[in-house]
Amino acid sequence: MKTKTLISVRHILLSACLAAVGLFVAPSADAQNQPQSRSRNMPEHHKILRDMRYGEKRSDIPSDDPDQDRIMDIHVPSTAKPAKGYPVVLFVHGGGFSHNTKAYYPGNAGFFDKIVDRGYAIVSINYCLTLKNKPMTGGGGGTGKGFPADGKYPEGFQNAIDDAVTDAVVALKWIWKEGKKYGLDRNKVVISGGSAGAITSLYTAFTSAPKKPKIRGVINLWGAIASPALIQTPNIPVLTFHGDQDDLVSVEYGKGIQKRLEEIGSKDSRMILMEGRGHAQYRYVGEERMGDVLPFLDKVFAR
């Protein structure tokens, strides 16, 4: 009885800690945001290079935590490589900057599979989970409330974003320097992610993008940015998916991001409002909305 009570208390404390960052997702019916079958293999017509290092290990993460190390999986088609290599989608997983990994699992399988089937590569990364190392109290990022009035996130939350962005930039630079060796087209790169991964993707593209490789677009899966004013260029189109019932990352972010892009002249950006849907709709997008994702990729990669 004491053991069961201890486990329950630990579960409650962990849930409270994750809720504090404003991005906790309780397990849903299909557990699409809490992977349970991470051992699922890629389809036979895909190839995967697992646990490849894209940068030196950070000194500010636990030495025994590979989920935060700078390692990645590269997913490519088994079909003949194009002359210049496979265009790349750099994928940054979600998890409130405190949990989850780069793993291929049932929730993201449809998204990954259909992109690779299209002839594109996915580079899925692990990165520093700052709020796992330094949990926040007092409400975290407050992303369920929409844009902060002062255009700034709390310091701890912004630090978590900055750490993730640093790793995403290191991964992009690896693609530029080493990608050709693995059949990747370093001149055709899109960045994508869900929730915390989408936040990372947006900040990387619009505040910290390296000169090379050029980021050609963003697939924003229910992400956020502290202020629309941070988006200064119309030359990086964004495809946004956001549920109108999302109480963890307010749909006002999706609307505000799209409005800003239209105001500055981004012709190829688009927001898809998912009516009646909440947070972390990976499975729905992967199974029902790839007809929007794939043409977007085709267009930005054709430039």
Instruction: Report which of 131, 126, 105 is spatially closest to residue 19, judged by C-alpha positions.
Output: 131
pLDDT at 251 over 60: yes
pLDDT at 17 over 70: no
* Rounded-to-integer distance, Cα 176 and Cα 212, Å: 7
CA-CA-CA-CA torsion sign (241, 244, 249, 255): positive
Written as six digits, the tokens of 208 are 């910290």
Tens of pLDDT, residues 215-225: 999 999 999 99
Residue-number span of the structural domain to which 189 is assigned: 2-301
Instruction: Check: CB of residue 213 under 8 Å from CB of residue 205.
Output: no
Instruction: Check: CB of residue 217 under 8 Å from CB of residue 300.
Output: yes
β-bridge mates for residue 74, sequence order:
49, 123
Written as six digits, the tokens of 55 are 């940068």
Written as six digits, the tokens of 24 are 């906790």
Instruction: Check: CB of residue 168 under 8 Å from CB of residue 125.
Output: yes
Q: State how far the alpha carbon of 281 is from the alpha carbons of 155, 200, 206, 223, 278, in Å.
A: 28, 18, 24, 12, 7
Instruction: Report which of 71, 130, 126, 66 is spatially closest to residue 96, judged by C-alpha positions.
Output: 130
What is the 3 state secondary structure string of 73-104?
EEEEECCCCCCCCEEEEEEECCCCCCCCCCCC
Tens of pLDDT, residues 24-76: 333 333 333 333 333 355 677 789 999 999 999 999 999 999 999 999 999 99
Q: Name the pTM for this structure.
A: 0.87
CATH number at residue 92: 3.40.50.1820
Q: How confident is the model at residue 9 (pLDDT cuts 50, 70, 90)?
A: very low
Instruction: Check: CB of residue 281 under 8 Å from CB of residue 222.
Output: yes
Q: How confident is the model at residue 93 (pLDDT cuts 50, 70, 90)?
A: very high
* Rounded-to-integer distance, Cα 80 and Cα 62, Å: 40
* Rounded-to-integer distance, Cα 123 and Cα 75, Å: 6
* Rounded-to-integer distance, Cα 79 and Cα 293, Å: 21
CA angle 124, 247, 196 (to 5 degrees): 20
Q: How confident is the model at residue 14 (pLDDT cuts 50, 70, 90)?
A: very low
CA-CA-CA-CA torsion sign (96, 97, 103, 108): positive
DSSP 43: P
Q: Over pLDDT 70: what percentage of the chain?
A: 85
Please provide residue 136's backbone torsions phi and psi, each rounded to the nearest 5 degrees: -95, 155
Tens of pLDDT, residues 151-207: 999 999 999 999 999 999 999 999 999 999 999 999 999 999 999 999 999 999 999
Tens of pLDDT, residues 137-163: 765 689 999 999 999 999 999 999 999
* Rounded-to-integer distance, Cα 38 and Cα 56, Å: 25
The domain total for the chain is 1
Tens of pLDDT, residues 100-146: 999 999 999 999 999 999 999 999 999 999 999 999 876 568 999 99
Looking from the CA of 196 toward its CB, the CA atoms found within 13 Å total: 37
Q: State how far the alpha carbon of 203 is from the alpha carbons of 70, 156, 193, 231, 295, in Å.
A: 19, 16, 11, 9, 24
pLDDT at 13 over 60: no
